[in-house]
């Protein structure tokens, strides 16, 4: 301010102008702009003071304070009656409103300027500005008429404007034609300008727009040629690299893959070290992989990684290679090694890069890679089969896979606690722990203690909470719903940012609350789910949960409203079948068995039902049959046709329950354990109901065999403990 006041005032004015443009986001910024203008005015020259006063007037107008703006404008005109800047104020306000997207108000200000200051220096530009706002308002036909009138008057000499202003109006008119979906006319107009415009800047801009419009119109081969021509004609333009890149993109869209690859290679070579250069290298390998040429694609990847070892694109390329090997090529060992390589590449980054915002974004890839590598190990163990049925060599391999998976997941959790992959890592860790528990290689108590210690070693509070939620999820999936409920309530009390959790966590917590008839709390949890997670599956789950909570409170009108919304908005959702399953359970509780069985059959017959819902429906069917048998009731389900003896109701119950073991042995071990218990119970009851000694003996033997299977394959399940009392 002391050594160069004019320069300082100009700088402060720009700061004030920046705040002015942010006023639409927060009105406080208008006050900040005016505060800066007033402060700068203390050191400003007379001309600068005038400019600052005009900006203050503009700020009031932009804020919608018309009376203050008019009063300040009147003061300015009284103080400087002959100052030509006064004539420009309304025009400047119009332009400011344009930048804010307030085009209706901008047009009014432009028209007011025309009426009050017809001879102002800016008057010739006003029709063009009005037309630009008309385009922005979605009125291209009106804009074209305004442009045509302006261009005609300018060419006839009725208004005095520079030739460049006429050509710029012609350029904007072409864009208005495009907005009005007159694509061919827009292209023709731009092509004409690209060759005939006297202004080099307009000519260059039009040449680029020709290519852009062709691309937008889906004329990709022509667009590629136009982008290529632009890059060749204007090699020094800041847009030349962009045009070169879009040459390749346009060829790719035209399915001209060889030409696209050649264009990207040329761009990568000419613009090495720039974002366009890296992007072009990235495009090359993706093109090759899309053409099912993995070896060539990976070679191109290696070339890019060697040239840009610390670029995010290189990290992503490594990750995508590993995913391809895992998901498409099914080369598990190579995929696991490739995922490990992503982690190693990240660890080699300089500390300053790793700690930067870019580095934090790149951390998503190694964290997800560790989880994917662990999941390969876990899947290999699952593929071997039920642990207790394996031979010693297979058991050793199973243990090796499990032992290698856990430290990978621990790294993902402890080294990347802020990663978006944290919830993914914890869900896979829970899967691993459940697998070990079901195999008898760990206990539920040991697993819960392990998760508690894991949480205690984390500094990030949000990460700790997610581990505690994982502990609750473990209990829930292990069938310990009472303990799970306690853990969930404890964990969710600490949640400050719901979006750091997963929507599945909310759904599981809500499910337990529904199971325990905590209707009000369930409604609260499902409301939070609905408000914080926009994903369609999350919205479907919340809609179902809110309906189920209302149903539990016997508010059937509200329940039906939510269930109708579920069917209308999310007809694909498995939650519809969960709602039907819940309805069947309610019917059974009322003794309406036949209606319940019909509902369960519909759930089992639709492909939209999840495996878990199908398994639970089979169990409900079996339990319903056992209840009817215990009460001495009959059902048409046992009918085998005319002149045939009815099926034993307990045997039919067994047949429904045992299907769960057949279909879902590896996928749903907890439900399988329960199903074995129900099947054994049904067989014992069948034995008691049979008069034929052989059938009685066979049923009892089958029941004992089922109990043995349950004790052997699921020794840590609570159903195994209960099975010991069956007889």
Domain ranges in the chain are: 502-568, 574-723
Residue 16 tokens read as: 């004030």
Q: How far apart are CA 114 and CA 91, in angstroms?
A: 9
Q: In this structure, what are the phi and psi dihedrals at residue 489, rounded to the nearest 5 degrees?
A: -60, -40
Q: Under 8 Å CB-to-CB from 85, ≥6 apart: which residues? A: 50, 51, 54
CA distance 10 to 17: 11
Helix (H, G, I), strand (E, B) or coil at 303: helix
Same fold, 502-568 and 574-723: yes
- CATH class, domain 574-723, is mainly alpha
Q: Which two tokens stand for residue 51?
A: 């400019």
What single string gives the DSSP state of each residue in 388-437? GGS-HHHHHHHHHHHHHHHHHHHHHHHH-TTSTTHHHHHHHHHHHHHHHH
| Under 8 Å between Cβ of 464 and 493 | no
What per-residue confidence (pLDDT) applies to 50?
83
Q: Residues for the chain: how many in total?
A: 727
Structure tokens at 36: 């800066």
CATH architecture of 502-568: Alpha Horseshoe (1.25)
Helix (H, G, I), strand (E, B) or coil at 537: helix
Asked whether 303 and 281 are in contact (CB, 8 A), the reply is: yes
Residues 710/717, Cβ–Cβ less than 8 Å: yes
Are 547 and 563 spatial neighbours (Cβ–Cβ below 8 Å)?
yes
How is the chain split among helix, strand and coil, in percent rounded to 5?
Answer: 80, 0, 20
Cα separation of 532 and 172, whole Å? 42
- Measure the CA–CA gap between 215 and 663, rounded to whole angstroms: 52
Asked whether the beta carbons of 343 and 370 are under 8 A apart, the reply is yes
Q: Are 669 and 436 in contact (CB under 8 A)?
A: no
Q: What is the pLDDT of residue 472?
A: 92
> Does the model's pTM come out above 0.75?
no
Output the six-digit token pair for 419: 């990663």
% of the chain beyond a pLDDT of 70 = 100
Question: What is the residue-wise DSSP string for 497-566?
Answer: -GGGS-HHHHHHHHHHHHHTT-HHHHHHHHHHHHHH--SHHHHHHHHHHHHHHHHHTT-HHHHHHHHHHH
Residues 381, 384, 386, 390, CA torsion sign? negative
- Compute CA distances 449 → 328, 429, 455, 467, whole Å: 38, 14, 10, 11
3-state secondary structure of 455: helix
Tokens read off for 649: 């109701």
What SS3 state is found at 714?
Answer: coil
Alpha-carbon gap, residue 461 to 558, rounded angstroms: 38
pLDDT at 494: 85
Instruction: Report the C-alpha gap between 658 and 457 in whole angstroms.
Output: 43
71 Cβ contact partners less than 8 Å away, ≥ 6 residues apart: none
The answer to whether 319 and 369 have CB atoms below 8 angstroms apart is yes
Burial class (CB in 10 A: 0-12, 13-18, 19+), 453: exposed
User: Three-class SS of residue 720?
Assistant: helix
Looking at residue 18, what is its pLDDT?
92
Cα distance between residue 327 and residue 376, in whole Å? 11
DSSP state, residue 274: S
Q: Which DSSP state fits 40? A: H
10-residue block means of pLDDT along the chain (727 residues)?
Answer: 84 91 85 91 85 85 78 82 77 82 89 80 82 90 90 86 86 91 95 94 95 95 97 95 96 95 95 93 95 94 93 93 94 94 93 88 93 96 90 96 96 92 92 92 94 93 90 89 89 83 87 89 95 94 94 86 90 88 85 92 88 92 95 90 86 94 86 94 94 93 93 86 86
Strands (E), 515-578: none
Reported as type and span, the H/E element at residue 527 is helix 519-532
Please report, for residues 5, 21, 604, the alpha-carbon distance to residue 38 in angstroms, rounded to integers and kept in the order given. Answer: 14, 17, 74
Tokens of 43: 């050191």
Alpha-carbon distance 184 to 196, whole Å?
Answer: 18
Nearest one of 551, 624, 622 to 594, comparing CA atoms: 624
The radius of gyration of the chain's CA atoms, rounded to the nearest angstrom, is: 36
d(CA 246, CA 227): 7
In angstroms, what CA-CA distances link 77 with 69, 81, 284? 12, 5, 63
Query: Which token pair is 584?
Result: 């069947």
DSSP letter, residue 324: I
Q: What are phi and psi of 271, to 5 degrees?
A: -125, 40
Q: In angstroms, rounded to a whole number, what is the distance separating the alpha carbons of residues 126 and 190?
A: 22
CB 674 within 8 A of CB 720: no
In the block, tokens 């209990």 appear at: 475
DSSP 3-state of 62: helix
- With 0-12 / 13-18 / 19 or more C-beta atoms within 10 angstroms meaning exposed / middle / buried, residue 353 is exposed
Q: What stretches of 610-692 show up as alpha helix (H) in DSSP?
A: 611-631, 649-664, 669-689
What is each CA distance from 360 to 204, 273, 350, 374, 414, in whole angstroms? 40, 22, 12, 22, 15
* Residues 677 and 719 sit within 8 Å (Cβ to Cβ): yes
- Alpha carbon distance 596, 592 (integer Å): 6
Q: What is the DSSP string of 199-250?
A: SHHHHHHHHHHHHHHHHHTT-HHHHHHHHHHHHHH-TTSTTHHHHHHHHHHH
What single-letter DSSP state applies at residue 592? Answer: -
């Amino acid at each position: 301010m002391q050594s160069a006041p004019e320069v300082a005032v100009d700088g402060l004015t720009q700061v004030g102008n920046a705040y002015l443009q942010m006023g639409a986001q927060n009105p406080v910024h208008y006050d900040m702009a005016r505060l800066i203008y007033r402060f700068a005015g203390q050191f400003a020259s007379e001309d600068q003071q005038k400019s600052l006063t005009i900006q203050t007037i503009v700020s009031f107008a932009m804020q919608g304070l018309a009376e203050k703006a008019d009063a300040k404008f009147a003061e300015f005109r009284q103080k400087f009656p002959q100052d030509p800047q006064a004539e420009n104020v309304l025009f400047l306000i119009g332009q400011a409103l344009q930048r804010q997207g307030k085009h209706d108000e901008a047009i009014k200000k432009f028209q007011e300027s025309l009426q009050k200051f017809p001879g102002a220096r800016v008057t010739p530009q006003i029709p063009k500005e009005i037309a630009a706002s008309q385009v922005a308002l979605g009125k291209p036909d009106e804009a074209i008429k305004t442009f045509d009138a302006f261009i005609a008057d300018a060419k006839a000499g009725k208004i005095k404007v520079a030739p460049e202003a006429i050509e710029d109006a012609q350029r904007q008119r072409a864009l208005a034609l495009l907005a009005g979906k007159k694509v061919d006319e827009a292209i023709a107009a731009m092509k004409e300008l690209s060759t005939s415009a006297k202004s080099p800047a307009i000519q260059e801009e039009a040449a680029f727009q020709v290519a852009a419009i062709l691309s937008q119109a889906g004329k990709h081969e022509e667009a590629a040629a136009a982008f290529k021509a632009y890059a060749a004609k204007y090699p020094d333009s800041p847009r030349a690299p962009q045009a070169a890149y879009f040459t390749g993109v346009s060829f790719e869209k035209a399915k001209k893959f060889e030409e696209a690859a050649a264009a990207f290679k040329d761009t990568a070579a000419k613009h090495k070290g720039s974002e366009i250069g890296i992007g072009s290298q990235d495009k090359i390998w993706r093109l090759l992989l899309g053409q099912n040429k993995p070896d060539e694609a990976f070679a191109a990847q290696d070339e890019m990684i060697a040239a840009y070892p610390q670029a995010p694109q290189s990290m992503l390329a490594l990750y995508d290679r590993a995913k391809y090997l895992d998901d498409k090529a099914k080369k598990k060992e190579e995929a696991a090694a490739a995922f490990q390589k992503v982690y190693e590449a990240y660890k080699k980054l300089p500390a300053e890069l790793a700690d930067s915002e870019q580095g934090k974004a790149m951390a998503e890839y190694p964290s997800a890679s560790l989880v994917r590598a662990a999941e390969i190990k876990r899947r290999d163990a699952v593929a071997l089969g039920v642990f207790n049925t394996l031979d010693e060599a297979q058991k050793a391999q199973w243990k090796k896979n499990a032992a290698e998976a856990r430290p990978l997941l621990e790294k993902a959790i402890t080294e990347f606690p802020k990663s978006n992959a944290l919830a993914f890592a914890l869900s896979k860790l829970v899967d691993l722990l459940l697998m070990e528990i079901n195999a008898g290689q760990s206990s539920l108590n040991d697993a819960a203690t392990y998760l508690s210690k894991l949480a205690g070693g984390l500094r990030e509070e949000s990460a700790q909470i997610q581990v505690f939620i994982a502990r609750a999820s473990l209990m829930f999936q292990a069938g310990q719903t009472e303990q799970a409920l306690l853990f969930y309530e404890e964990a969710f009390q600490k949640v400050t940012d719901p979006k750091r959790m997963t929507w599945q966590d909310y759904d599981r917590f809500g499910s337990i609350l529904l199971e325990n008839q905590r209707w009000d709390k369930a409604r609260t949890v499902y409301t939070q789910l609905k408000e914080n997670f926009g994903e369609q599956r999350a919205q479907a789950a919340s809609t179902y949960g809110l309906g189920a909570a209302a149903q539990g409170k016997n508010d059937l009108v509200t329940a039906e409203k939510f269930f109708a919304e579920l069917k209308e908005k999310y007809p694909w959702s498995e939650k519809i079948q969960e709602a039907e399953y819940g309805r069947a359970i309610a019917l059974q509780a009322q003794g309406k068995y036949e209606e319940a069985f019909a509902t369960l059959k519909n759930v089992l017959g639709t492909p939209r039902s999840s495996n878990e819902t199908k398994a639970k429906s089979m169990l409900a069917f079996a339990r319903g049959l056992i209840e009817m048998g215990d009460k001495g009731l009959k059902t048409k389900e046992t009918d085998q046709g005319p002149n045939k003896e009815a099926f034993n109701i307990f045997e039919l119950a067994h047949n429904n329950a045992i299907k769960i073991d057949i279909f879902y042995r590896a996928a749903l071990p907890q439900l399988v354990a329960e199903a074995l218990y129900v099947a054994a119970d049904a067989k014992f009851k069948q034995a008691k109901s049979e008069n034929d000694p052989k059938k009685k003996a066979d049923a009892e033997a089958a029941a004992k065999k089922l109990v043995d299977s349950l004790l052997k394959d699921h020794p840590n399940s609570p159903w195994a403990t209960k099975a010991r009392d069956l007889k």
